[in-house]
Homo-oligomer: A and B are copies of this chain.
Amino acid sequence: MTRTIVASATREVIIGFDQPFCVIGERINPTGRKKLAAEMNEGNFETVKADALAQVAAGATVLDVNAGVTAVNPNETEPPLMVKTLEIVQELVDVPLSIDSSVTAAIEAGLRVAKGRPLVNSVTGEEEKLEAILPLVKKYDVPVVAISNDESGISEDPDVRFAVAKKIVERAADYGIPAHDIVVDPLVMPIGAVGTSGQQVFQLLRRLRDELKVNTTCGLSNISFGLPHRHGINGAFIPMVIATGMTSAIMNPCRPQEMEAVRAANVLNGTDPNCQEWIMTYRDHQPAAAGASAAPTEAPSAGGRRRGGRAARRTA
């Protein structure tokens, strides 16, 4: 059974098909958050700290850390900021971290200070990336997110994306990195732009699980980009990818609809024994908060409902 171990100084998280879905909190990322970028540039980490605490409280089991505040000279400015951000976050919370950067020097600097066994986010199938990142992954003995695009961009053909993932796994093996330390991102395109993107991902996930036997992740909310009521799309996408084999996602755990979907899918996937987390979380749930009935009549007692010949269906 494929198991990817991610760890902080004191806590270990296993990503695997028989494990609860691994929620990698995406909030500590200044991209598209001007206020946060300005704060981090000024050495103000209050929002970073608040986001770290809020995400762990909401149920994130790993936190992604991105310090890409500027496109100006990132090779020099980003490594020290990554180090500082990682140090602050790992001082505050005990979950494992993901070192997220497109700047190799920032990843390397991060690897020097991150405690435990952080996740590297990410390598792609691009030759330059493979040669820069894989030696670091090997040297520090850490797992890595492998994004299934290469020099030619992101293919709309799932077979090509599978081939890129396979190439990365094989190249990693050349460096002595086992497949269970590669977490493949099959790439999720917005369904509003590419109508087949859901089916593409489901098909890819089955192959990645059955043929490459690797763990998987994605930037989850990409799927709903541009659509109204994105949480509704995200909240259905999560159970669907879990049912087809995805084992982690980079997402916002502070969204209750998405986290509810994760918890319910864990119950249904058999990774929340005795529904313990579900019951603890929702035993006092008020229907008014979500899912209230539009029907004015009495609640259905579906468990006791008779259908043709199935009076006893509830009891095995």
Contacts and interface: CB of A to CB of B under 8 A. Distances in A.
Number of copies: 2
Contacts of A189: 313-314, 316
Interface in A53-103: 54, 58, 64, 66, 68, 100-102
Interface residues of A, number: 119
A300 B251 CA distance: 10
A314 B102 CA distance: 16
Contacts of A44: none
Contacts of A121: 307-308
A204 B310 CA distance: 19
A134 B265 CA distance: 37
Interface in A211-260: 219-223, 225-229, 231-233, 235-244, 250, 252, 254-258, 260
Closest 5 CB pairs of A and B: A257-B291, A231-B291, A236-B264, A254-B295, A198-B268
Interface of A: 26-27, 29, 31-33, 35, 47, 50-51, 54, 58, 64, 66, 68, 100-102, 107, 121-124, 126, 129, 145, 147, 149, 153-156, 187, 189-196, 198-199, 202, 219-223, 225-229, 231-233, 235-244, 250, 252, 254-258, 260-261, 263-265, 267-270, 273-275, 278-279, 282-285, 287, 289-295, 297-298, 300-316
